[in-house]
């Protein structure tokens, strides 16, 4: 869920975010350690070079399966549990922890704020990726992040926060895929309650 929010909040800016116009990206996020390790699949939908973007995350909690839909719209980040028809919305202006990182246009201010270091290019999923190491704040905690970026799109992210490691990896990229317009609309029948970060 943290990664979904981080991906989406970067779409606040009205600049092109990715070097590809449209894509569907399947991902796996691995959290926890040992027997407590959990793999969480998700699908990211991208259109208009990232100006339209949403994420579906498929969760399994104590044997209960549900889908979480996340999208930024009109200055809010919306998150909805589609199984239970419940959702929240958060005013992005209040979310200081999640700052905009546009890898197609890294400004000096952003580089300094997140202590971004460029590393050597590395191959991932058959793509020539630029690796960046940076520091971000996640819910008040400082996190060390390594991210492998292709065409402005993070394909792999390794986050270390409070001793825990979260690894998110793209498993499949469908460039130019046709995407149902409903993927960029708020789901009907969901009650969105506004909450503070």
Instruction: Write the pLDDT tens digit of every residue in 132-174.
Output: 999 887 667 788 999 999 999 999 999 998 878 999 999 999 9
- What percent of the chain shows pLDDT beyond 70? 86
Q: Give the model confidence (pLDDT) of 14-53 as tens digits.
A: 578 899 999 999 999 998 766 678 899 999 999 999 989 9
Question: Number of structural domains, the chain?
Answer: 1
CATH number of the domain encompassing residue 91:
2.50.20.10
Domain range for residue 102? 2-194
> What does the DSSP assignment read for the chain?
-HHHHHHHHGGGSSS---SSS-EEEEEEEEESSGGG-EEEEEEEEEEGGGTEEEEEEEEEETTEEEEEEEEEETTEEEEEETTTTEEEEEEGGG-TTS----TTS--HHHHHHTT-EE---EEETTEEEEEEEEEEEETTEEEEEEEEEETTEEEEEEEEETTEEEEEEEEEEEET----GGGGSPPTT-EEEE---
Closest CA to 22 of 1, 2, 60, 51: 51
Q: Based on the number of CB atoms within 10 Å of its own CB, is 100 exposed (0-12), middle (13-18) or buried (19 or more)?
A: middle
């Amino acid at each position: 869920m943290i990664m979904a929010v981080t991906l989406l909040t970067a779409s606040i800016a009205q600049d092109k975010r990715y070097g590809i116009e449209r894509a569907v990206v399947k991902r796996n996020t691995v959290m926890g350690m040992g027997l407590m390790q959990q793999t969480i699949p998700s699908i990211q939908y991208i259109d208009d070079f990232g100006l339209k973007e949403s994420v579906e995350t498929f969760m399994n909690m104590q044997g209960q399966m549900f889908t979480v839909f996340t999208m930024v719209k009109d200055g809010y980040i919306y998150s909805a549990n589609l199984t239970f028809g419940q959702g929240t919305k958060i005013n992005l202006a209040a979310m200081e922890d999640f700052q905009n990182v546009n890898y197609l246009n890294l400004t000096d201010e952003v580089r300094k704020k997140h202590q971004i270091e460029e590393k050597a290019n590395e191959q991932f999923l058959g793509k020539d990726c630029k690796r960046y190491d940076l520091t971000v704040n996640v819910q008040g905690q400082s996190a060390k992040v390594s991210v492998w970026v292709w065409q402005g799109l993070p394909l792999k992210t390794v986050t270390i926060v409070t001793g825990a490691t979260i690894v998110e990896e793209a498993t499949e990229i469908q460039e130019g895929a046709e995407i149902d317009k409903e993927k960029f609309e708020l789901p009907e029948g969901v009650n969105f309650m506004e909450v503070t970060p």
